Amino acid sequence: MRDGRNPDGKVVTVQIAVDRIHDGHLGGVVTSADAEDKFGNNLLGSVIFCAAFLVSAFHAEDTDGVIEGVFVGGNSPYVVNWTDGGSVSGSQSNATDIHITDLPDGDYTVTVRDADGCEISADAAIHQLTQKVSLTADSQTKVYDGSELKSNIYSGGDNLESGDVIANVIFSDDSKITNAGVQTNHIESFQILRNGVDVTCRYDTAMIDGSLEVTKRQLTFTSADDEKVYDGTELVNHEVTVTGDGFAEEEGVTFLVTGTQTLVGNSNNTFTYALTDGTDADNYEISVVYGTLTVKENNTAIEISSASNHWTYDCETHTDETYTVKYGNSELASSDGKTFELPTGDKLTITNTAAGVKYYDASYNENNTFTYTLENAAQYTGAKNTVFGTLSIDKRAINFSANSAEKPYDGTALTDDGYTITNSSLATCDAIDHVTITGFQLNVGTSENVIGEVVIKQGNEDVTYNYDINTTKGVLTITPIDVDVTITKHGAEHNYDGTI
């Protein structure tokens, strides 16, 4: 018969067993039906054919009921008779199976007789299904937790006749889900029982699928922010936090942080991650947030100083490449006097630019100049002070002593342009150009022999200004002479004794 619940007009075959029993009568039983065994019921030894009445676009007439069956046992040929007890009846001779079509709605009796005259009858009801009963499978959603999501809950089953109950609801084996996704929750079959007897065929039944959904766990991996003042070393922070739904039990992740920042500036605190064995990425919605590594400018003050020094004029050019470097309040050491390593590891290298000093100059000031280079100089924003020392030449002290001279008076002037250098010396590259001595003594007595001008040259260049010249006066002495003088006056004479 045609099943009104199947839109393709499926015909369900029911086998009627025909056989002799010990009292010579035939007994009929239902031996098989459709796969779900919904259309055959063994009621007190008789066979009831449940048929469906279907009206559809391609079955416009009311006479589309079908009764079908097959013969099991007995001896052919078979004769099939049917009647609704009224105006509808029919017969088939030499039948090989039961195939009665175009039957209107009604209650029929089907009788089968074999070649030996053995008969068996069965009732078949063809009625349009007017009571619709549907079951809706449960729908559930959960966040992935590694466990199976399954629900054999259903709703519906209303509109039943009094005393009828829903029973034997069977869900499909694949109506379950563990990993993230959506799975249909499908009811394969159910029965409607009346006093323990299956009367499902008397209802227009429907099964509505539910859904089982496992949503992904939401995770956010966030690496740490960190900062420091530039110190020449890498800034790293390997901390990564996991927020959100977290991992399901016995699942997890490992991180490899790769972010670094050494110079002034900032960059992402990058990292990679690897899910542990047994952790399926498809079950997680993962967001990655990189922290920021920030290196700030170093504002420590740096002071570079050159030495001050002075030398006595000696014809040589003098320099002094002695330097001091302070980093904050700390004085730095140097192995060669010119290269200094800061606590950051960066090197500060000094290059002398001072020409040096050779001659005396009263205007010398901060002339011990230099330049310097600093590795990664842009990382340092503190004051960088340069203090130039002063290199100078002191005048060379030299003493000229004028000669002293003495003679008896002879009426001529006594002079002496001789001199000596005492307690000092000329620089080796210099020479006396001339010394002017102005001493003069004519008469008996003494006078100073004075050095007036001293000129010292280095080649043709006057270098007298490089000397602090001191002079010592000499003494010029005219002594009286011892002579007899006779003075005659008016015929008298006597020796001159200084008086007249």
pLDDT higher than threshold 80 for residue 64: no
Closest-CA residue to 128 (of 101, 102, 105) = 105
String of b and e for 78-89 (b: at least 16 CB within 10 Å)?
Answer: bbbbbbbeeeee
Instruction: State the pLDDT confidence band at 43, using cuts at 50, 70 and 90.
Output: very low
Q: 348 pLDDT exceeds 80?
A: yes
Q: What is the pLDDT of residue 500?
A: 53
By DSSP bridging, strand 309-312 and strand 391-394 are parallel
Q: Given a cut of 90, is residue 231 above it in pLDDT? A: yes
**Can you tell me the distance from the alpha carbon of 281 to that of 271, in angstroms, rounded to the nearest whole number?**
17
Q: Is the pLDDT of residue 46 over 50?
A: no
CB 124 within 8 A of CB 110: yes
**Amino acid sitting at position 420:** T
Q: How confident is the model at residue 130 (pLDDT cuts 50, 70, 90)?
A: low
Which of 360, 393, 317, 362 is CA-nearest to residue 463? 360
Span 262-287, pLDDT tens digits: 999 999 999 999 999 999 999 999 99
Q: Is 171 exposed, middle or buried (0-12, 13-18, 19+ CB in 10 A)?
A: buried
Mean pLDDT computed over 472-480: 96
Q: Which residue has the tokens 């030299």?
A: 398
How would you label 248-268 residue by residue, b for 16+ Cβ within 10 Å and e otherwise?
A: beebebeeebebebbebeebe
C-alpha separations of 148 from 44, 171, 212, 491 in Å: 45, 15, 10, 175
- CA geometry: angle 55, 58, 63, nearest 5 deg: 50
CA 500/CA 93 separation, integer angstroms: 216
Q: Over 80: is that where the pLDDT of 458 sits?
A: yes
> CB under 8 Å to 298, separation ≥6 — which residues?
229, 230, 231, 264, 344, 379, 380, 381, 382
pLDDT at 6 over 50: no
Q: Are 14 and 69 in contact (CB under 8 A)?
A: yes
Rounded average pLDDT over 366-373:
98
Write down the residue that tokens 């050494």 correspond to. 262
**3-state secondary structure (DSSP) of residue 179:** coil
Rounded distance, CA 192 to CA 170, Å?
13
Full strand arrangement of the beta sheet holding 140-143: 140-143, 210-215, 181-185
Lowest mean pLDDT among 119-128, 292-301, 417-426, 490-499: 490-499
Determine the pLDDT at residue 341. 97
**Residue 171: partners with Cβ closer than 8 Å, 6 or more residues away:** 137, 152, 185, 186, 187, 188
Rounded Cα gap, residues 323 and 302, in angstroms = 13
d(CA 292, CA 270): 9
CB atoms within 10 A of CB 386: 15
Strand 370-374 vs strand 347-352: parallel, antiparallel, or unpaired? antiparallel
pLDDT tens per residue, range 167-225: 999 999 999 999 999 999 999 999 999 999 888 877 889 999 999 999 999 999 999 99
Bridge partners (DSSP) listed for residue 48: 41, 123
Q: Which residues pair with residue 324 across a beta bridge?
A: 305
> What is the C-alpha to C-alpha distance for residues 252 and 367, in angstroms, rounded to an integer?
69
Per-residue confidence (pLDDT) for residue 202, from 0 to 100: 78
Residue 94 has pLDDT above 60, yes or no: yes
Cα–Cα distance for residue pair 268/261, rounded to 1 Å: 9
Cα-Cα-Cα-Cα torsion 111, 113, 117, 119, nearest 10 degrees, comes to -40
Instruction: Determine what percent of the chain is predicted with pLDDT higher than 70.
Output: 83
Cα three-residue angle 456-458-459, rounded to 5 degrees: 120
- Report percent pLDDT > 90 for the chain: 67
Provide the residue type at 174 as one letter. D
Say which residue the tokens 């007595």 belong to: 445
Question: How far, in Å, CA of 102 to CA of 107, rounded?
Answer: 14
Q: Of 385 and 107, which is predicted with more confidence?
A: 385
Average pLDDT rounded to a whole number, residues 110-135: 81
